[in-house]
Amino acid sequence: MKLLHISDLHLGKKLKGYSLLDDQRFILNQIFDTAKENNIDGIIIAGDIYDVSIPSTEAINLFDKFITQLSNENIACYAVSGNHDNIYRVTFGSDIMAKGNIHFAKKYSGNITPIQADENTFIWLLPFIRPMDVREFYPDFTNSSYEEMMQNVMKNLSVDESKINILVAHQFVTCNGKQPERTESETVSLGTLDNIDISNFEKFDYVALGHLHKSQAMGKDTIRYGGSPLKYSFSEKDDKKSMVLLNIENKTINIEKIPYKPLRDMQEIEGKFENIQKLSPSDDYIKIILNDENYILDVKSKLETIFPNVMEISYNNIASRENQDLSLIDTTEKYSPMDLFKTFYKQQQNQDLNDEQEKIISDIFKDLNMEVEE
């Protein structure tokens, strides 16, 4: 039995105004090809199928094509919704799709019936849940603790531990208080309230997690975040994105990571404009940090001739590094245009006008018939 664990597709996501649909189509095709080449029996999607609760028609079409391809090749799909998904929209028609071996976790209803993937393997689909989603089923559970929520949910499951049991979930999981590694593209609360310890999952042979976008194991090799297939923030520029291949034989699970090869990678480039201009062109998504002291006019269109997908441009120079004191001017005094300009320049550039610059400005003021003190 071979399964592929992926998560956090965020179909339809836009980054800094750029649509990532082409990148997502490319990566879904890669997942499908990988599944075929490796004779995968089923694909696990651990939540955040879409980026928003009302996804665009383009995003829906993309996913529609993906699960249709899987079904045509007799590759099963085991999916749960994440905190970005709307569970009712994601599970529309799911009873009918289950007949084609495409499975979605319905809204939590007090218990979970596992899906039998083969005679030995059971897959438990748990959609993203909050305490308010489960409280009605557990009268003694009255607080807002995610940990207690999961304890209640888990104690209700009758897991036959002589079989292989796989849990698919989309939650914030910690290991003895140790938090997973985070990225900037997750909308996960910064608190500790939503922590769920891995000890809840002892009955399971593998826990396929989604929610965090960095691919990582939690405490042991068989409790894993799949991670997003693409880099969804510049904080992930050095991440190695990969799908997780589970090779299950009898009671053992072998884990192999298969790297994604994106259509466009993500790069951060820092330096002087004249040096950056000499770099070889690239279609990657790029963040540029300029070290030039003088601001460059029309810099975005100039950089776009080399890097058509420049997403972000910022400066790291004296002016940006130093704290700028914006209260240099006492407004009760009367200042000459030159004094005002000098103050303005200092605020902007964090340095004084030199003699040559002062001469230029002075000449401009004279041309404008403005009074120049000195």
Shortest Å distance, C-beta 82 to Mn ion = 6
Per CB under 5 A, does 236 bind Mn ion? Answer: no
Provide the minimum distance between the beta carbon of 48 and Mn ion in the complex, in angstroms, as a whole number. 4
Nearest distance, CB of residue 52 and Mn ion, angstroms: 11
Structure tokens at 145: 């603790």
* Pick 133 or 358: Cβ nearer Mn ion: 133
Instruction: Retrieve residue 12's tokens.
Output: 């339809």
Q: How far is the CB of 4 from Mn ion (least distance, A)?
A: 18
Q: Which stretch binds Mn ion (CB under 5 A): 4-12, 197-205, 287-295, 308-316?
A: 4-12
Tell me the site size for Mn ion, rule CB under 5 A.
2
Place of tokens 């438990």: 124
Nearer to Mn ion, 8 or 197 (CB): 8
* Residue number, 48 or 147, with CB nearest to Mn ion: 48
In sequence order, the 6+-apart residues with CB closer than 8 A to the CB of 43 are 3, 4, 6, 31, 35, 70, 75, 76, 77, 78
User: Residue 70 or 230: which CB sits closer to Mn ion?
Assistant: 230
The least distance separating Mn ion from the CB of residue 3, rounded to whole angstroms, comes to: 20
Q: Which residue is nearest to Mn ion (CB)?
A: 48
Residue labelled with tokens 């665009």? 56
Q: Which of 122, 166, 163, 159 is nearest to 255 (CA)?
A: 166
Sign of CA dihedral 350, 356, 361, 362: positive
Of the listed pieces 7-15, 97-105, 155-163, 195-203, which binds Mn ion according to CB under 5 A? Answer: 7-15
Site for Mn ion in 162-191 (CB under 5 A): none
d(CA 219, CA 174): 8
- Pairing of the two strands 115-118 and 102-104: unpaired
Least spacing, CB of residue 204 vs Mn ion, in Å: 21
Whole-number Cα distances in Å, 214 to 26, 222, 227, 331: 20, 16, 5, 52
Q: Which of 3, 4, 5, 8 binds Mn ion (CB under 5 A)?
A: 8
Nearer to Mn ion, 213 or 264 (CB): 213
Considering the complex, state which of residue 213 and residue 342 has its C-beta at the smaller distance from Mn ion: 213
Q: What stretches of the chain show up as alpha helix (H) in DSSP? A: 21-37, 57-72, 87-90, 94-98, 131-134, 146-155, 273-276, 299-304, 318-321, 337-349, 355-367
Residue whose CB is less far from Mn ion, 53 or 282:
53
Within a 13 Å sphere around the CA of 213, how many CA atoms are in the beta-carbon half?
25
Residue 214 C-beta: closest distance to Mn ion, Å = 11
Which range of residues in 40-48, 85-93, 122-130, 190-198 is near Mn ion by CB under 5 A? 40-48
Nearer to Mn ion, 105 or 310 (CB): 105
DSSP 136: G
Tell me whether residue 51 or residue 284 sits nearer to Mn ion (CB atom).
51
Cα 229 to Cα 259: distance, rounded to the nearest angstrom: 9
Tokens standing for residue 58? 């383009």
How far from the centroid of its chain's Cα atoms is residue 206's Cα?
23
The minimum distance between CB 177 and Mn ion, in angstroms, equals: 23
Q: Give min distance, CB of 211 to Mn ion, in A.
A: 6
Tokens representing residue 277 in the block: 């201009």
Q: Which is nearer to Mn ion, 101 or 171 (CB)?
A: 171
What three-state secondary structure class fits 366?
helix
Q: How far is the CB of 131 from Mn ion (least distance, A)?
A: 20
Using CB under 5 A as the criterion, what x/- string covers residues 46-85 for binding Mn ion? --x-------------------------------------
Footprint of Mn ion (CB under 5 A): 8, 48
